[in-house]
Amino acid sequence: MNITVMGAGSWGTAFAQYAVGLGHTVVLVPRRLEQALRLTSSGENEEYLPGVRLDKSLQIISELRPALMEAELVVFACPSKGLRTACEGVRRELESAWQLKGAITLCKGLDSETLQYPAEVVEEVLGGSLCVGALSGPNNAAEVAKGCLAAAVLAFPEAAKAFAQSVQEALSSETFRLYRSADRRGVELGGALKNIYAIGAGLCQGLGLGDNARAAFLTRALGEMVKLGIQWGGQSQTFYGLSGLGDLMATAYGPWSRNRSFGEALGRGEAIEGVLGHAHGVVEGYGAVQAFFKKAQTEGLSAPILSSLYQILYAGEQPGRAVELLMRRPVGVEHNNI
């Protein structure tokens, strides 16, 4: 399969490295020319994926037309806030991409202006003729690139089942197991919401609340994720799978997680601006808190944990005070009360 990967951050580079190792023809498209030159000359993405030598068969091209010319599948691996721009670039070259059959988003979040999901942005910009899916799961980029065992969910609409099966077969291996789903909305929601709650898990750690508190927080966070996810069109079982619970556990506990590290730093009393300024890569959960809080407020949905995180990140509430207010909420029956 001919695959073009848009975005050379840690996950985009890792995905491209993994796919080319399976024997696919893969083109990696960095956003900046200077980044493409560095990757080509050094044979390594020292900025986002240090220590992983890039396969010599991996093509690194910064110009879209040649990068898309023989592509059958485009993989969008950019941050959510850059997805629309990336799609618009691809749209300008669609006439030259005559073999293009589908697209996959690795993005985790909402469009901050329209509150659209990543797959919706791709469909709107590129048109409805392409099969558009989402891939999500507990996937640390460096581990995938190094061939460590991992699994993820590949979600396409039921109408694209045949294409989804072909992609699943093409990208599954003994080290990376892909499960198929028709619940694209749920998979996208799980991948985005877990970043929000991973920030909260980091806050628990930074505040020194202990293992009991963090476990309780994550259990209640999962309940809120399922509740919101169902309200927004996902299927409940999806949130107990790899793209929901699985990704939440990895992101909330992984030392590599930018969202968990961000929350931990805030819990220690560091300023938001300083932490974001020194973050190595985009902290997707920060923008997701604002976008999903806005969505929940607009639709009149109760989401106490999401609301508390919004107050901390955007309204100046002290983390310790927010925890205190959560603990003072009325008690009730576990499964009926988020």
Indicate whether 26 and 76 sit together in one domain: yes
Indicate whether 136 and 261 sit together in one domain: no
Alpha helices in 137-183 (DSSP H): 141-145, 161-171
Classify residue 131: in a domain, yes or no.
Answer: yes
Classify residue 255: in a domain, yes or no.
Answer: yes
Indicate whether 222 and 198 sit together in one domain: yes
Indicate whether 117 and 202 sit together in one domain: no
Of 160, 182, 204, the residue at which a domain comes to its end is 182
Residue with tokens 């999401």: 306
Classify residue 101: in a domain, yes or no.
Answer: yes
Looking only at the bridges linking them, the beta strands covering 150-155 and 131-136 are antiparallel
Classify residue 187: in a domain, yes or no.
Answer: no
Indicate whether 21 and 139 sit together in one domain: yes
Residue 335 in this model has a pLDDT that exceeds 90: no
Indicate whether 128 and 172 sit together in one domain: yes
- Give the 3-state secondary structure of residue 97: coil
CATH number of the domain bearing residue 60: 3.40.50.720
pLDDT, tens digit, 9 for 90 and up, residues 194-212: 999 999 999 999 999 999 9
Looking only at the bridges linking them, the beta strands covering 44-45 and 49-53 are antiparallel
Classify residue 48: in a domain, yes or no.
Answer: yes
Lowest mean pLDDT among 64-73, 96-105, 175-184, 314-323: 96-105
Confidence (pLDDT) at 338? 56
Confidence of residue 180 (pLDDT cuts 50, 70, 90): very high
Classify residue 175: in a domain, yes or no.
Answer: yes
Q: Residue 159: which domain range?
A: 2-182
71, 101 contact by CB (below 8 A): no
CATH number of the domain bearing residue 238: 1.10.1040.10
Indicate whether 79 and 122 sit together in one domain: yes
Confidence of residue 337 (pLDDT cuts 50, 70, 90): low
Of 128, 154, 182, the residue at which a domain comes to its end is 182
Indicate whether 168 and 203 sit together in one domain: no
pTM, two decimals, is 0.95
Cα–Cα dist 191/194, whole Å: 6
Confidence of residue 336 (pLDDT cuts 50, 70, 90): low
Q: At 230, which helix (H) or strand (E)?
A: helix 211-231
Residue 56: active-site member: no
Indicate whether 290 and 328 sit together in one domain: yes
pLDDT, tens digit, 9 for 90 and up, residues 127-138: 878 999 999 999
Indicate whether 17 and 52 sit together in one domain: yes
Query: For the chain, how many structural domains are there in total?
Result: 2
pLDDT, tens digit, 9 for 90 and up, residues 28-46: 999 999 999 999 999 999 9
Closest CA to 153 of 128, 125, 189: 189
Of 128, 147, 182, the residue at which a domain comes to its end is 182
Indicate whether 85 and 153 sit together in one domain: yes
Query: If you compute the radius of gyration of the chain from its CA atoms, what whole number of angstroms results?
Result: 20
Indicate the average pLDDT of the chain: 95
Residue 259: partners with Cβ closer than 8 Å, 6 or more residues away: 195, 196, 198, 199, 202, 251, 283, 284, 285, 286
What is the sign of the dihedral through the CA atoms of 249, 253, 258 and 259? positive
Confidence (pLDDT) at 129? 86
Q: Which of 194, 227, 294, 295 is catalytic?
A: 194
Indicate whether 17 and 162 sit together in one domain: yes
